[in-house]
Structure 1
Amino acid sequence: MIERTDALDFSDVCWDESVVIALVREIAALARIPCAEVRVVPTPTAMGEVADSPGWLRSSADPGPEVSAWHPRFGRLARARNVARWEDDLERAAPLGVLESPRHRYGRGLWVRADADALLGAESPERETDRFSVCTLVIGYVGMMCEFGAPIVSAGWSPSAQTGEEFGVELRLGELLTDAFCAGLGYLAPAGRDILVCRRPAIRFLDQPDEFGAAPLYHHDSGPAIEFADGTGPFFLGGVDLPEWFHSAVVDGALTMRYVRRMPLRRHRIAAYSGMPPAARLDGLRADPVDVGSTGTRLYLIHDHPDLDGPTWYMVMTDPSTGREYGEFVPPEVGERRSADGAQAAAWGVAVEDYRRMRLEG
C-alpha cells in the first residue's frame, strides 16, 4: 500500500553541523580519541573506505558476546546487554506521550524515536551502519541508566553518588552523544588523527510506528527508504529490502502478475504486490467492480489473487496532489458492505457519515 508512505525530506532530519562538530570534539576529548579535524562524509560506506581498522573505536582483540567493538572508548554504553535491557524495559513500561518531541527525555536519557531504532533494525549491506552507529551508543546509554535503577517512565532519576563517581565519564559521554544525535549525528569513525562524522539518514515508513515502540515497516516508492545525504541507501517496499532494479520495476509497473506469480520467494511476491500500480495489480485477475464512491474511489472484489486465500476486497484511489492512482486491500468485514465510501472511511478510521461530511467541507 504505497499510498501510506511517510516521505520525509532531509529538511525533516535535523542537522546542525556546527553543533555536531563541537560536540564531537568534546566527545573525543572525554573518550581520549585524537581529533585534529572533524570531517563530514555523506555515508557510512564512505567512512568504511578511509576509517582506521581496527582503529580507536575497535577493540584490539575480538570482543566477547556482551561487549561491542566500541567498548574500549565508551565503556558500558557499548555493552550489548544494555541495548537489550533498553528494549525490554520499553516493552514493559509502554509510556505515553513519547511522540511530543525528538528530545523527549526520561531522567537524563533520551527516548530514542523510530528514526533511531530503524538504524539498528534496517537490513543494510554495509556493515559500517552497525560498526559506526551513534544510535547504538545512545540506546546503550539509556540501557545503562536502567541498569542503575532509572525508572524509564520517570523524569526524576539521577545517579547515586557512588554511580556518578564510578561511571561519571560514561554518563557524560552518554549525554553528549544524545545531544549530538539530536543535532543530526548518525555515525562516527576515526581516521588517523581526524574523526569522520555522517548525518542521520532520512527514513520513510509504510506506517508510522506507535508510541509503544512497534516496529515500523520501511517503505518508499520513489527511492531509498533509508536515504543518506548523497541519495544512496537501501530500498524497501512493505518492509522488504529489494535490489534497486527490482524496486524500480515494481513501482514503474513493469512487472506483470504472471511474472510475479512465478517468483520463487514469497517475500518478494508480497513486496511486488505492495508496490504495483493498481492497473498492474489487477491485470489478469478476475476482479469485479462493486462500487464507485463520491470521490471516485473504486471498490473491487478479486476472486483469484495468487497469494491470498478466498475472495479479496481491494479499493483504488487517486492522490489529488499528484493524480496518481494507488490501491489498498480492504478488510473482509468492510468490503462485504459493498461501499467504496465505507472502505475509504474505514481506512481513515472514521465513520462513513463523517468521511462524506469531511469531503463536502473540503
Structure 2
Amino acid sequence: MDATKKIVAEVFNEIAEGIKSGSFEKRVKIGLTTFGSEHGVEEMIRAAEMAKSKYGDFDIILIGSKTERNFEVIEVEDAAEGHKKMVELLEKKEIDGCVTQHFDFPIGVSTVGRVVTPGKGKELIIATTTGTTSTNRVEGMIRNAISGIAVAKAVGIEKPTVGILNLDGARGVERALKDLKANGYEFEFANSLRADGGAIMRGNDILAGTPDIMVCDSLTGNLLIKIFSAFTTCGNYETVGYGYGPGIGEDYDKLVNIVSRASGAPLICEALRYCSLCAKNKVLLKAKDEFKKAKESSLGDIIEKLLAKDKPANKEEIEMPPKKVVTYVIPGIDILELENACKTLWRKGIYSESGMGCTGPVILVSDDDGGKAEYVLVEAGYK
C-alpha cells in the first residue's frame, strides 16, 4: 500500500511540475553515490545542492548515509553496498542514470569524458577515459570513435567532428574510419589547426578543442581528463569539466557516469548534468543505433581484416635490396606497422628505410621508387 501511495504521489508531483513548466515530459532521476570520495560525503552532497540550484530540471537521488538536506536518500552502509544498490535501482528503472566513483565495467565498455579546453574554452569529448573497449588498441579506438559520436549526439551535437589523437595506432584507426565512412557510415573528420591539417590531431588541437570528439585509448584519455580537470589545483581536487562520463558499449544497458575520487563539487555538479542529458536523450539507445549503422557499413569486416594483420606470421627472412639514396618521404604509416611496411617494400625489390618526421613515422625510398612504393603500401593496406 505504501508503494502504491508513493507512485501516486510521484505522478501528482510530475503533473504539478508539468503545469508549472508547461511541459509534461517525465523528469529524469539521477542517482549519486556519496561514499568513496577523497573529499568526504559533504562534498558529494554539496555537489548535489549545486546541481539542484543551477539546473533544477532533473531529480537527484542520494545513495549513501542519511542527511537532513532536502533530497531523497537511499541509505547504505558503505561504497560497496552503494554500488550494489545503484545497479539494483538501475535494473529496476527506479533511477535513469547514476554518477559514481570507480566502477568495474565489462570488457567492451569504456567511458566517454567531457572537458573544457584551456585554449579556447571549448567543450571537448574524449573517447575514451576509463574501461577497455577492446584488448586490441586499434580496434578499441575505432569503437571509441563510434561511442564518442553517440554521446556527442546525446548532448546536442548533431554532426560532430572526429579527430584522432596522434598515438601509436592512430594511422590504422584513421584508415579503418575512412573505410567505414566510404561504406556509408556518416560522420565528419575534424581538420587539425596545424598547417598540414588532416584528421590526426596534435597536442595543439587538444588545447584548442579542434574536434568535437578526440579519439584515443582509455589510458591516454584518463591522463588527459585528469590534467584538464585539476591543472589549476595541483591534482588533488578536480574542478573543471564534466567528469569521465558514461560507460558506453555496443550492448551496454546501464547509464553509469564516472567521476574520480579526487573530483570536487563543481565538477560533480556538471557530471550530474551530463548524466541527466545522456539519460534524457537516451544515449544508450543512440549507441546501439550508431553501432548498428557501423556494422551495416562493414565494421565487422574492417576489424577482422585489422586483426588478421596482427596475427603472428611465419618468420620469413627477407633480403634487403641494394642500398640507394633515399630522399622520397612517405608519411602516414603507423609506427606499429613501420617495420612490416618496410619489409613489404623489400619483398617487392624496393629499398626503404624507416624514419621519424616532425608529424610522425615515415618511410624513406629513392625518388625513382617513390610512386611504385606508394602503390605497394596502399595495396598492402598500410596507407
TM-score, normalised by the number of residues in structure 1: 0.26
TM-score of the two chains, using structure 2 as the length reference = 0.25
